[in-house]
Amino acid sequence: MQSFLKAAGWCALSAGAAAIDCSGINALSPKCNSTEAAYTRDFFYVGGEYVSSTVSGQSIFTGQMYVEKLTPVRGINQTYPLVFVSAGVPSGTVWLNTPDNRKGWASYFVEAGYQVYIVDITGNGRGGQYDVAAFHLRFGSTDNITQDGFTAPELAAHPYPQAGGHDKWPGAGVRGDPVFDAFQVSIVPLAANSTTQERTMRVAGCALLAIIGESVTFCHSGSCQYTVLMADECPDLLRASINLEPSCLPFQSLLGNPAGPDG
């Protein structure tokens, strides 16, 4: 609340000359300029199907994938579209501005002249639908897992050997730090059992590529199992598959993520 009052700018106005704080969530103030690239946006859904709901005789739509299309205002001068697949823990928002409100990945590629698509995987983020049996949810990440795994591995009780070299996360990287909290608040639940998600992502992922044509996919962490499946399902539609810290490598996590049966 305190930071939001600041965001509203009343302190700055009453003080006259004081600079407006546009860091992090304060950038929501209309007084703050966006750091993002100039693009136009369209959204749509692909994939999925009607299934019976818990209300007799009525159906829900499930297994669909949310897609956002970002088109550079300055025009496209690159051959292949880029498809950014959500990391499974944050939704597709992870490719937009950073938690401390610096420019994100999507903007860099929009500025470089690419047609950019961002998706929320099926059953996750804006792809979510009420289908308890298919997408029984578990937590995405706890404060401790985020801290030890991503934002401050050097402070973990049992750090990996090179953790001391980690210096990329802005701020203290611990709960209570505004940048950490802005990241943690973006974390959404995961499906406890990926089987349905893998089946629906084969369909929805390839339905997207069938519409937009041969593309380059980007994934990070938990989303990489889905772009690998897309490469298996519709290989001719993937120009390249770029996998960042993919979850599907055969290495043991030092942290684990113990709530899921397949975590």
215 is catalytic: no
User: Are 66 and 57 a contacting pair, CB within 8 Å?
Assistant: no
Nearest distance from C-beta of residue 212 to ligand NAG, angstroms: 19
Q: Is 261 in the site for ligand NAG (CB under 6 A)?
A: yes
Near ligand NAG by CB under 6 A: residue from 2, 40, 58, 77: 77
Contacts (Cβ under 8 Å, ≥6 apart) of 88:
121, 124, 140, 190, 221, 222, 223, 247
Q: Is 253 in the site for ligand NAG (CB under 6 A)?
A: no
Nearest distance from C-beta of residue 222 to ligand NAG, angstroms: 16
Q: Is 73 in the site for ligand NAG (CB under 6 A)?
A: no
Of residues 109, 118, 33, the one with CA closest to residue 72? 109
Sign, CA torsion 24/27/29/31? positive
Nearest distance from C-beta of residue 197 to ligand NAG, angstroms: 10
Segment contacting ligand NAG by CB under 6 A, of 7-15, 28-36, 89-97, 177-185: 28-36
Taking each helix axis from N to C end, the angle separating 224-233 and 195-212, rounded to the nearest 10 degrees, works out to: 60
Near ligand NAG by CB under 6 A: residue from 195, 210, 211, 240: 195
In angstroms, rounded to a whole number, what is the distance separating the alpha carbons of residues 115 and 227?
18
In angstroms, rounded to a whole number, what is the distance separating the alpha carbons of residues 113 and 73?
9
Q: Is 10 in the site for ligand NAG (CB under 6 A)?
A: no
Near ligand NAG by CB under 6 A: residue from 42, 49, 245, 262: 262
Q: Is 22 in the site for ligand NAG (CB under 6 A)?
A: yes
DSSP alpha helix (H) spans, 62-142? 105-111
How crowded is residue 96: how many other Cβ atoms within 10 Å of its Cβ? 19
User: By CB under 6 A, what part of segment 119-178 binds ligand NAG?
Assistant: 144
Near ligand NAG by CB under 6 A: residue from 113, 213, 235, 256: 113
Position closest to ligand NAG via CB:
113
Residue of 194, 221, 223, 247 marked active site: 221
Burial string for 126-164 (b: 16+ CB within 10 Å, else e) reads bbbbebeebbeebbbbbeebbbbbbbbbbeeeeeeeeee
In angstroms, rounded to a whole number, what is the distance separating the alpha carbons of residues 90 and 183?
8
Near ligand NAG by CB under 6 A: residue from 12, 170, 193, 248: 193
Q: Which residues bind ligand NAG (CB under 6 A)?
A: 20, 22, 31-33, 74, 77-78, 112-113, 144, 193, 195, 261-262
- Residues tagged active-site: 221
